[in-house]
Structure 1
Amino acid sequence: MPLTLPSPRTLTDTEVPALRWGVIGTGIADPFVGAIHAHTRQRAVAVTARDAAKTEAFARRHGIGTVHTSVSALVEDPEVDVVYVATPHPLHHEQALEAIAAGKHVLVEKPIAMSAQQAREITDAGRAAGVLVQEAMWTRYLPQSDVLRQVLADGLLGDVRLVRADFGFVFGFDPAHRLWNPELGGGALLDAGVYPIAFASSVLGPPDAVTAAGSLAPTGVDERADLLLPSAGANALVSTSLVARLPITASVVGSEARLDVHSPFFGPTGLTLTTGSATSEESLTWRDTTFDKLNEGLSHQAVHLAAYVAEGRVESPVHDHAEVVSIMATIDEARRQLGAAGVPGAGGSGM
């Protein structure tokens, strides 16, 4: 039989309500707001950030009518339906809780917090308040991720034996920069490692154990980490780094076939399904050609969030609260094993 891949089950913007978004932060929020304005009916209507001049410029660039001078003013704005927390991750916990307390749905940039304990507090608060809490793990909402879910559900790979994923880049050491500063949530695991760890989790679920090897920067943050994550008879091998140019690919290897996610695996790229032996392989490739630019794929997570709000959900069905906390627990434990600075204390890892 010829190789086939299932078609992605896409969700169109016309199927979901047009929500009014309040934005906290102007860094990663810039491509996100650009994407939702270009490709959806979701609209950013208010923004706040620390630098007043940059915030005003951001508002002009994206046609945002309201600039608030504080987080409190933004989350209390009756014209805002959902708050996008797009600040550095040490601020996520406090700002997400404040938005939830104001009765707002929240999309919180990854990692959702600095520890599993903080993640649990955010998700528990959202559930208690009856509002949606979603981590901005945009990969989960891409068409290729739906293809992967169908491939796994249909058993096309056979018994899954191995998952591999990596995300690493070279960033010059600067102790004052957030990537290298423990007080600013620095380190490879929190910034980049959350992607491959989340990918492994999406296939295998929470690991039965965590074994981490790597090295620390002079500031005490993890500069690189390689993790072994066994689960349900399979292993995941994930790597992350601030000092090595990793290929940024992901693979799921089964007893019958292998599925490779193209680089960078966390964005809208493509998939290749391969079967056969080393001397007689057969492969089939699917590519996502929807957008011209990678970051335009950020719009998918906003459309799904709007759908979940309309359905009255408090968590994402493809990235639920328990998994969000579990991924943070894996990061906590890996950082603890490496001896990284700023690791949460007892009760923080959740392992």
Structure 2
Amino acid sequence: MSVVFSCLDADTLGGVQHVTHTLAQGLAERGHEVHVVGLHRSSRPFRYVESPRYHRHAISRSRADGRLARGRADRRLRRLLESIEPGYAVMTTPSVVARVSGLLPEAFRSIGQYHGSYDHARGCWHLASIRRHYPALHQAVFLSEHDAWQFSEHALLPNAWTLPNPLASWPDGVSALDMPRVLGVGRLEGVKRFDRLITAFARSGAPRPWQLHLIGDGSERERLRAHAEREGVADRVVFRGPVPAARMSQEYLRASVVGLTSEHEGLPVVLLEAGAHGVPSVAFDVSGGVRSAGPVPVPPGDVDAFAAELGRLVGSRAERLRLGAEARARAEAFRLDHVLDRWESMFAHIDR
């Protein structure tokens, strides 16, 4: 069968794109014809898969602003979709659903994903868009049972389904949890609130030589450097920049704790990857997806509580080993083959 994933920009650095390319490669390796479509090309492309077995397309070189440019881009997209054997069209965000669902050839089965939580959706325009566009799709897909239930109940969606994010690979080894390093991974943008992670690290009582390593890049980098200076930990916060996906396993193997202080999340891959490597994590409890990944939960925004849990793990290798083993056992459910089985079960359900 053919599976088409469409994103606003398919090759930028972000969680939606990471998951999309992981699923595309996995389904292609199972023999499906898979296409990943970006409605426009990323200005800073990031490579998620070294040897893709799926087809990649960019409809426009940049954002199609204006009615004429949008019309030309939509015609190119329609021609591309008509050239692909009908199958399943997976639209990865509400904005993509709103734009692409009306362009699909009739023979395609339509699937709309949402990578956030219900609580985040109701706090912005996403919920209204989901209520308007998702009920007409063959399936609406959410990241956790809790979020799928909330959308079903409060957005009156009759077609809600749960499919978690997958792990791209399963490591053979686990971290020894003896290196004095806390790890933060993600875009250095406001929504990720790395300022809170820096503050929590400063207040955790982590002694030298413990360091906080931040992997990723973004517009907040210099502001975060200044924040680390004000918190008195500038010499212990290491800005690593972006790390290729193929090298991230080594980063987890050199970490002892992972911290996640985002304003909102769906099901963060970083928590799954940390768990697969036996690394315990501390995270703000902002969604059912976060809870399903099994970090040490902290009330959202409570930096002092986060610092206390971080300090507890920094101070006890035995506790890190206990929680790391639990995290790895929980991460088993998110192995790629398990998640791909669930995707194929959903395809079969749609066909019935």
TM bracket, shorter-chain basis: 0.3 to 0.5
Structure having the higher strand fraction is: 1
**Which structure carries more relative contact order (alpha carbon 8 Å, separation 6+)?**
1
Q: Structure 2 length normalisation: TM-score?
A: 0.40
